[in-house]
Chain A
Amino acid sequence: MSPSVSRRSFLARTGLIGCSLAASPLLTPVSFAAAPWDTRLVVIILRGGMDGLDVVRPYGDPAFRALRGDMSPGPEGGALDLDGRFALHPGLASLMPMWNAGQLGFVHAVSTPYRDKRSHFDGQDLLEAGTTSLNGARDGWLNRVLQVMPGVTSQTAYALGRSDMRLVQGSAEIANWSPNADLGISPQAVRLLEVVTERDPALHAALSEAQILSQVDDGDAEKLKGEHLEIASFAAARLSEDARIAAFSLNGWDTHAGQDRDIERALTRLADTLVMLRGKMRGDTWGKTAVIAMTEFGRTARPNGTRGTDHGTGGLMILAGGAIKGGRVYGQWPGLGDGDLYQERDLMPTGDVRAHAAWVMRGLTGLDRAALEGAVFPGLDMGYDPGLLL
């Protein structure tokens, strides 16, 4: 006797699907109850410590040239002037249309409360925990956002890529997906998997969802080059539907040597990611989106002996999306002159990245200040509203 495959087999379903998770009977209707908020948040963790002074170059500060020598030239050396004070690294040239449309902005001289030991490990932990000290919460601040938001389902937020991000860890349910998890097996094997797991609802459901997610229609006929593009494409597809939050990491910012070459590579990946996100979002999704990209710390104001920079303190936050009020460089500029640097070596942090992230979330979701300063970023003083959103 061969087991019947005539029931609602996931082969049949996935054959039909391709375009919508909503067609899956495995996901209960409540999964698709629209969240009470319609905006979109993308959080990108830039791992390794991005050199904010190289990405958005304060060429208008007279001390900058003296510190950097022939590294990080201003507009005369190919950087793209932003506002007469700051110039953009040419590696982000493809984002200039976004800047001109007011959909790209920056916050300079910001950091987490992390100081002095300058460890990636601890710096990223603190950035993702969103706490004031390392002995704080074990969960991540983005998970805590979901814990306090109403109407959150298991499909509201996606953590993408295979690195396990502390940012999303915690009691709220978050969907995980990595492009390399595509099943990529024969249709016959898929059909037989369905047979084999039919008596195990949990396994069966996970496999079905894997199969569906493998086929989320992001409009790509051929395979995209690079995990970051696959992630951006997937995120755009999900955010165009029921998802509200996506989070992932981009690595490669630890530029201790040969920074000219290495940071260009990382910046190109970041730019391509943002362009892909905007390009693949359907309808007016991009218009409702805020992207925040943050890093564990900035780098030294002076180059080191190997045409690179070492771990520093004050850094740069990047904002993008149709929901943000871009076209400007936010933040209180501390200056780079004598006595302006932190410990005479790093850009002095004048703002807390968490406060800016909190104001973005306040604007996007209406979450109240008490929740943001209590549950999400315990102990944070958000300060005045920098007006980052439209």
Chain B
Amino acid sequence: MLSGLTAPDVMAQTYPIESFRDFRSRMIEVRGQREIIRKNRGTDIAVDARKRRNVLNRIAREDMAVWVGHTMLRRAHTETAFRERIVAFWADHFTAIGKRGLIRRATSPYIEDAIRPFIAGRFEDLLVHAATHPLMVDYLDQRLSTGPNSERAQAAGNNRKIGLNENLARELLELHTLGVDGPYTQQDVTELAELLTGLTFDVQNGMKYQKRLAEPGAETVLGVTYSETASLKTVHTALKDLARHPATARHIATKLAVHFGHDTPDPDLIDAVETAFIDNDGALLPVYEALLSHPSVWSPDLSNIKPPIDFMSSALRALAVPPMAFADRKERWTRRLFMEPLFDMGQRWELPGGPDGWPEEDAAWITPQGIALRVSWAMGAPRRLMDPLPDPRDFVDHALGRFADEPVRFAAAAAETRPEAIGLVLMSPAFQRR
């Protein structure tokens, strides 16, 4: 199950998603048009530039729909299903969303660059790549965070709009590493925020360290005093220390146990994963090994409800929807078939409500509206993806395996139409839960 993680990433090659580096060149182009518009207000030049900018925006929107399809196809056709699940887990752990303009479409490219290549390495490398990525820097307001005594602040004099922003520092401690119950204080947040000053990005060059923004002096975070030298290296050192903190091991172990186990996980499972994390210096393969070899993960009882995206992609997998079904589709098709229903089910594509990502607890997904929309999708979408649909009586066994029970067999055979029968199988608890 885990050996696939170190094998070549066939799905990423087969169903490509743009890297953030390439996405950034789109941002550069849009910025160029914006400059032209600004300098030529009221002229035809500005009108043309506005048109070009709108085209660039539209193309990015359309390409994003392609990446939605490719994400679904990767999940539907992979031979290493765990890779797709663990990528989604870490992408959620390191939730980042572009704030305004084109970068709002950059989440998939961010995941492709900062998460996916590092899932089988050490947690600290994952942390460093995610936390310093331009998308995270933008999302958590690090971009303009400026040391109160930095060169930049001194130069600005009394301009009050310049100053420290704690957002990234706080979420690093609260969400990415120690956890909200972790042993940190406001003082640690402030010092970490000061230590992070200088970390920024610009559209032209991507991630960047600007000494002018950095707060002078050494900062002390969780009792460790870091180098006075304002540099990216100091930032990395601090992040790696956070990654190796025992509270981080506990926090990550708990999150993994909840996600792959149950809303109230077996304490022994958390302990086992935590131990693996500590004993292996955050190397993730042994952590996954500990997780997946624990008996409570394989308990015969179905537990967590699948979040909407997982429900959809597992339906595609069970139906073996061919990749051709996605070929040459317009953006609108993807929106109608996937993005709008996901929104209605409560999981708007790549737009969780905050940096804490999607909820884990079943109660967040099992709402009347959410479940009603699952029914509509389960009965309506498959026939738009493949024709003919499989025989429902065979599909029961194929989709549910040993979890196929008498009620669902009865329903699959008794439904009035084939799409309804398929939908009933997809709505069975055995399919909705895992």
Interface string of B410-421 (1 = CB under 8 A from A): 110011100010
Contact A196 B369 (CB under 8 A): no
A135 to B415, CA, bound (A): 52
Residues of A within 8 A of B429 (CB): 196-197, 199-200, 203
Distance A206 CA – B411 CA, assembled complex (angstroms): 19
Task: Let me know if B371 and A207 touch, CB within 8 A.
Answer: yes
In the complex, the chain B residue whose C-beta lies closest to that of A166 is: B353
Given A178-B369, A181-B344, does the pair A196, B411 have CB atoms closer than 8 Å? yes
Q: B349 in the interface, Cβ–Cβ < 8 Å? A: no
B263 to chain A, nearest CB (A): 11
Would A209 and B368 count as touching, CB distance under 8 A? Answer: yes
Q: Is B233 among interface residues, defined by CB-CB distance under 8 A?
A: no
Q: Which of A119, A186, A193, A214 has the most CB of B within 10 A?
A: A193
**A206–B368 CB distance below 8 A:** yes
Partner of A135, one of B167, B343, B373: B167
A93 is an interface residue with CB less than 8 A from chain B: no
User: B305 — which chain A residues lie within 8 A by C-beta?
Assistant: 202-203
Distance, CA A2 to CA B408, complexed state (A)? 10
* Contact count A vs B, C-beta below 8 Å: 113
> When the two chains form their complex, are residues B407 and A186 in contact, meaning their CB atoms are under 8 A apart?
no
Determine whether the beta carbon of A202 is less than 8 Å from that of B362. yes
Interchain CB contact under 8 A, A210 and B99: no
Q: Are A206 and B370 in contact (CB under 8 A)?
A: yes
Q: Which residues in B have their C-beta under 8 angstroms from that of A188? A: 414-416, 420
> Which chain B residues numbered 369 to 383 have a C-beta less than 8 Å away from chain A?
369-373, 375-376, 379
User: Of residues B100, B348, B411, which shows the largest number of chain A Cβ atoms within 10 Å of its Cβ?
Assistant: B411
Contact residues in A for B344 (Cβ distance below 8 Å)? 162, 178, 180-181
B35 within 8 A of A: no
B373 contact set on A, CB distance < 8 A: 181
- A30 contacts partner chain B, Cβ-Cβ < 8 Å: no
How distant is B196 from chain A, measured CB to nearest CB, in Å? 16
Which chain B residues lie closer than 8 Å to A196 at the CB level? Answer: 407-408, 411, 424, 427-429
Size bin of chain A's contact surface: 35 or more
Q: Is A1 an interface residue (CB 8 A)?
A: yes
Chain A residues within 8 Å of B366, by CB: 202-203, 206
Chain A residue contacts of B432, Cβ below 8 A: 200, 203
Nearest chain B CB to A99's CB is how many angstroms away?
A: 35
Residues of B within 8 A of A184 (CB): 376
Instruction: Return the chain A residue nearest B425 by Cβ.
Output: A196
Contact A164 B410 (CB under 8 A): no
Instruction: Assess the B99–A195 pair: CB atoms within 8 A.
Output: no
Distance of A305 Cα from B46 Cα, bound (Å): 14
A185 touches B420 (CB 8 A): yes
> Is there a chain B Cβ closer than 8 Å to A368's Cβ?
no
* Closest A residue by C-beta to B373: A181
Quick one: CB contact mask for A189-216 with B, threshold 8 Å, 1 for yes?
1001101111110110011011001100
Assess whether B198 is interfacial by the CB under 8 Å rule. Answer: no
B426 CB, nearest partner CB in chain A, Å? 10
Q: Which of A135, A193, A200, A209 contacts B424 (CB 8 A)?
A: A193
Q: How far is the CA of A211 from the CA of B395 in the complex (A)?
A: 26
Say what secondary structure dominates the interface of chain B: helix
Interface size, chain B (Cβ < 8 Å): 43
Chain B proximity of A342: nearest CB distance (Å): 17
* A210 x B369 contact (CB < 8 A): yes
Q: Give every chain A residue within 8 A of B99 (Cβ-Cβ).
A: 121
Q: Taking each of A119, A189, A207, A209, which has the highest tally of chain B beta carbons within 10 Å of its own beta carbon?
A: A189
The answer on a CB contact under 8 Å between B375 and A199 is no
A385 within 8 A of B: no
How near does chain A come to B172, taking the closest CB pair, in angstroms?
15
CA A305 – CA B41 in complex, angstroms? 11
**Which residues of chain A are within 8 angstroms of B100 by Cβ–Cβ distance?**
119, 121
Is B387 interfacial (CB-CB < 8 Å)? no
**Does any Cβ of A come within 8 Å of B406's Cβ?**
yes
State A213–B423 Cα separation when bound (angstroms): 21
- Give, as a whole number of angstroms, the nearest-CB distance from A88 to chain B: 34
Measured CB to CB, the nearest residue on chain B to A160 is: B369
- Indicate if A177 sits at the interface (CB-CB under 8 A): yes
Contact B369–A177 (Cβ < 8 Å)? yes
Q: Which residue of A lies closest to B363 (CB)?
A: A202
**Nearest A-chain residue to B167, judged by Cβ:** A135
Task: Judge if B48 is at the interface, Cβ distance under 8 Å.
Answer: no
**Contact B415 A176, beta carbon cutoff 8 Å:** no
Interface-central residue, B346, B348, B428, by most chain A CB under 10 Å: B428
| A183 is an interface residue with CB less than 8 A from chain B | yes
State whether the Cβ of B354 lies closer than 8 Å to any Cβ in chain A.
Answer: yes
- In the complex, which residues of chain A have a beta carbon less than 8 angstroms from the beta carbon of B407? 3, 195-196, 198-199
Q: In the complex, what residues of B have CB within 8 A of residue A199's CB?
A: 405, 407, 429
When distances are taken between beta carbons in the complex, the residues of chain B under 8 Å from A198 are 407
Complex-state Cα separation, A196 to B404, whole angstroms? 10
Chain B residue, CB-CB nearest to A205: B366
What is the CB-to-nearest-CB distance from A49 to chain B, in angstroms, rounded to a whole number? 15
CB-contacts of A162-186 with B (<8 A): 162, 164, 166, 169, 175-178, 180-186
B367 at the interface (CB under 8 A from A): yes
Q: How far is the CA of A118 from the CA of B343 in the complex (A)?
A: 27
Interface centre among A177, A186, A200, A213 (most CB of B within 10 A): A200
Answer yes or no: A369 CB below 8 A from chain B CBs.
Answer: no
A307 at the interface (CB under 8 A from B): no
Check: A328 CB closer than 8 A to any chain B CB: no
With A121-B99, A164-B353, A202-B366 given, is the CB distance from A195 to B411 under 8 Å? yes
Instruction: Kindly provide the distance from the CB of B406 to the nearest chain A CB, expressed in whole angstroms.
Output: 7
Give the residues in chain A near B354, CB-CB below 8 Å: 138
Q: List residues of A (1-27) whose CB comes within 8 Å of B's CBs.
A: 1-3
Q: Find chain A residues with CB under 8 A from B370 CB.
A: 206
Q: Which 10 pairs between the two chains have the least Cβ-Cβ distance?
A: A200-B429, A210-B372, A210-B368, A192-B411, A209-B368, A206-B371, A181-B369, A181-B372, A189-B420, A196-B428
Sample (29) of A-B pairs whose CB atoms are under 8 Å apart:
A2-B410, A3-B406, A3-B407, A3-B410, A119-B100, A178-B369, A180-B344, A181-B372, A181-B373, A183-B375, A185-B376, A189-B416, A189-B420, A189-B423, A192-B414, A192-B415, A192-B420, A193-B427, A196-B411, A196-B427, A199-B405, A200-B433, A202-B363, A203-B305, A203-B432, A206-B367, A206-B368, A207-B368, A207-B372
Further contacts, 11 of them, CB under 8 A, given A119-B100, A196-B427, A206-B371: A121-B100, A138-B353, A169-B353, A176-B367, A177-B369, A181-B376, A186-B420, A193-B424, A206-B370, A210-B368, A214-B372
